[in-house]
Amino acid sequence: MKTIIEPFRIKSVEPIRMTTRAERERLIREADFNLFSLASDDVLIDLLTDSGTGAMSSEQWAAIMRGDESYAGSPSFYRFEAAVKNLMPFKHIIPTHQGRAAESILFAMLGGAGQIIPNNTHFDTTRGNIEASGARADDLVIAEGTDPTSLHPFKGNMDLERLTAHLEEHGDAVPCVMLTITNNAGGGQPVSLENIRATAEIAHKFGKLFIIDGCRFAENAFFIKTREPGQGNREIVDIVRDCFAVADAMTMSAKKDGFGNIGGWLAINDDDLAVEARTHLIRTEGFPTYGGMSGRDLDALAQGLTEIVDEDYLRYRLRTNAYIVEKLVKLGIPVVQPAGGHAVFIDARAWLSHVDPLAYPGQAVAVALYEIGGIRSCEIGTAMFGRQPDGSEKPAAMDLVRLAFPRRTYTQSHADYIVEAFEELQGIISTLKGYKIVEEPALMRHFTCKFEKM
Ligand code: F0G
């Protein structure tokens, strides 16, 4: 059969409140054209993020009833720890309430003034935690990784030559080398097993810790299986184990490939670092056998981690994005190719060539998609990154719009509806106008700023 079906049946549903276009035009105006300010009940298809928004399985809901809320030594923790170690054989598993809490603990230990931390591309919160410690965050992804049209199969790969030069230049200032799989900030693009191993080898040659941000490890493993020579006949779990076998530590947001609504962890091999991390954990998150989670969260993740490596699920998961990307390409809409693991990225700067980057073409696309179809996406461009520390304004590297797909939540008819909304938008694209920001905070303005249509 050619059709890749959703490999699940639906047992419990959440109704979508239908809205009219006139209603949505009013609602987005009242929200000052900022999609973060909308009530989610006013959204038909919510693609703001894939983080914590997925559907849990019946087995996960059953596991929640098993959750044990003991402060210390809960069996839920041991089930969670075993599930993590089954995939990622690190010595110490330290539970946190989400990914950024693991990052905060890690960089409280490894960061600090004068330190420099390279990555393929740091996610915002990783960068934020590094910079808050006084350290610097450098992005060293391969050149193809920032070219929306390049069809390279592993656009998330670390640029190994630049990494070597970086380590030769900065030597003692670098405490660790990071690698984000998949590379979210670069379009959800995967990193090959070969590149993971080579990055680890270079880090170790220079005596540095090698740390993986593993948020979307299962999607990355499926890309390895389907795209990397020699990997096609291997089990996903074996590929996952190989990815982490060469790492000294990892950070994780279990809200992504943990099938959790909340949760995360920091995993470390070094005993001394683990003692230090647990001390931070007790001060900021909780006792080491629950960290920032309840016992029921830990059990939901223990079960989720067995489901996320299911090949039928992953085939369907990655097909959803590829299906939409193929149709958008046919419509002549510029998109980041090949399709990423968790999201579809629209190249708004190319699509709205008549709108200046400083008039936020990505915001114009995101607002129009909401007005036309009630679809909530997210601008990742000049509105998000354009404000400089001195308050001036500069175009971001790219003006993208991200449609991130919650796991197991929407169906193929939702995908067809999204494509239909794009088709309608394509018909009026030359009439779209830019935006200006009329009110903004000094930092992370995109969450709360107010826009006005030009
Ligand atoms: N690392 C990556 C690669 C991420 O994508 C995220 C979150 C984090 C770390 C932080 O994890 O949210 O649990 O604290 N990304 C979400 C997103 C928010 O929408 O892309 P967290």
The predicted pLDDT at position 397 comes to 84
Task: Give the CATH number of the domain where residue 86 resides.
Answer: 3.40.640.10
Q: What is the residue with the minimal CA distance to atom 18 of ligand 1?
A: 51
pLDDT exceeds cutoff 90 at 2: no
Structure tokens at 364: 């114009």
The predicted pLDDT at position 287 comes to 97
Q: What is the mean pLDDT of residues 300-305?
A: 98
The dihedral formed by the CA atoms of 433, 434, 440 and 444, expressed in degrees to the nearest 10: 120
Strands (E), 101-246: 116-119, 136-139, 176-180, 209-213
Question: Are 97 and 201 within one domain?
Answer: yes
Q: Is 180 in the pocket of ligand 1 (CB under 6 A)?
A: yes
Give the confidence band of 300 by pLDDT, cuts at 50, 70, 90.
very high
Domain end (from 307, 337, 369): 307
Q: Is position 3 within any domain?
A: no
User: What is the percent of the chain with per-residue pLDDT over 90, rounded to a whole number?
Assistant: 93
The predicted pLDDT at position 148 comes to 87
Q: What is the residue with the minimal CA distance to atom 2 of ligand 1?
A: 123
The predicted-structure confidence for 86-133, as pLDDT tens digits, reads as follows 999 999 999 999 999 999 999 999 999 999 999 999 998 999 999 999
Strands 45-46 and 375-376, sheet pairing: parallel
How many domains are there within the chain? 2
Q: How many CA atoms lie within 13 A of 157 on its CB side?
A: 20
Q: Is 122 in the pocket of ligand 1 (CB under 6 A)?
A: no
Question: Are 187 and 110 within one domain?
Answer: yes
Structure tokens at 37: 């300010």
Q: Strand, coil or helix: what is 139? A: strand
Q: Is 226 in the pocket of ligand 1 (CB under 6 A)?
A: no
The predicted pLDDT at position 139 comes to 95
pTM summary value? 0.96
Question: Are 388 and 301 within one domain?
Answer: no
Q: Is 126 in the pocket of ligand 1 (CB under 6 A)?
A: yes
The predicted pLDDT at position 124 comes to 87
Q: What is the residue with the minimal CA distance to atom 1 of ligand 1?
A: 123
Q: What is the residue with the minimal CA distance to atom 19 of ligand 1?
A: 49
Best residue among 49, 183, 215 to mutate for probing ligand 1's pocket (most ligand atoms within 8 Å of CB) is: 215
Long-range contacts of 278-286 (CB under 8 A, 24+ apart): 278/92, 278/94, 280/105, 280/108, 280/109, 281/94, 281/96, 281/105, 284/101, 284/104, 284/105, 285/95, 285/96, 285/97, 285/101, 285/105
Q: Strand, coil or helix: what is 109? A: helix
What mean pLDDT, rounded, does the chain reach?
96
The predicted pLDDT at position 390 comes to 85
pLDDT exceeds cutoff 90 at 163: yes
Determine the Cα–Cα distance for residues 11 and 188; give it in Å rounded to an integer. 30
pLDDT exceeds cutoff 90 at 157: yes
Q: Is 100 in the pocket of ligand 1 (CB under 6 A)?
A: yes
Give the confidence band of 197 by pLDDT, cuts at 50, 70, 90.
very high
The angle formed by the CA atoms of residues 428, 430 and 434, to the nearest 5 degrees, is 105
Range of the domain at 83: 58-307
Q: Is position 115 within any domain?
A: yes
Q: What is the mean pLDDT of residues 269-288?
A: 97
Structure tokens at 61: 């809901």
Q: Which of 32-36, 62-66, 439-443 comes out lowest in average pLDDT?
A: 439-443
Q: What is the mean pLDDT of residues 130-143?
A: 94
Q: Is 407 in the pocket of ligand 1 (CB under 6 A)?
A: no
Q: What is the residue with the minimal CA distance to atom 4 of ligand 1?
A: 123
Question: Are 169 and 94 within one domain?
Answer: yes
The predicted pLDDT at position 341 comes to 92
Q: Strand, coil or helix: what is 25? A: helix
Question: Are 197 and 134 within one domain?
Answer: yes
The predicted-structure confidence for 390-444, as pLDDT tens digits, reads as follows 889 999 988 999 999 999 999 999 999 999 999 999 999 999 999 999 999 887 8
Give the confidence band of 335 by pLDDT, cuts at 50, 70, 90.
very high
The predicted pLDDT at position 101 comes to 98
Task: Give the CATH number of the domain where residue 349 resides.
Answer: 3.90.1150.10
Q: Is position 295 within any domain?
A: yes
Question: Are 72 and 42 within one domain?
Answer: no
Domain end (from 307, 333, 349): 307
Residue identified by tokens 């679809």 is 375
Q: Is position 10 within any domain?
A: no
Question: Are 284 and 418 within one domain?
Answer: no
The predicted pLDDT at position 212 comes to 98
CB 342 within 8 A of CB 219: yes
Whole-number Cα distances in Å, 260 to 252, 404, 440: 12, 16, 32
Q: Is 115 in the pocket of ligand 1 (CB under 6 A)?
A: no
Residue partners of 329: CB distance under 8 A and separation at least 6: 335, 337
The predicted pLDDT at position 232 comes to 97
The predicted pLDDT at position 442 comes to 81
Q: Phi/psi of residue 50, each to 5°?
A: -100, 15
Question: Are 42 and 103 within one domain?
Answer: no
Q: Is 97 in the pocket of ligand 1 (CB under 6 A)?
A: no
The predicted-structure confidence for 207-220, as pLDDT tens digits, reads as follows 999 999 999 999 99
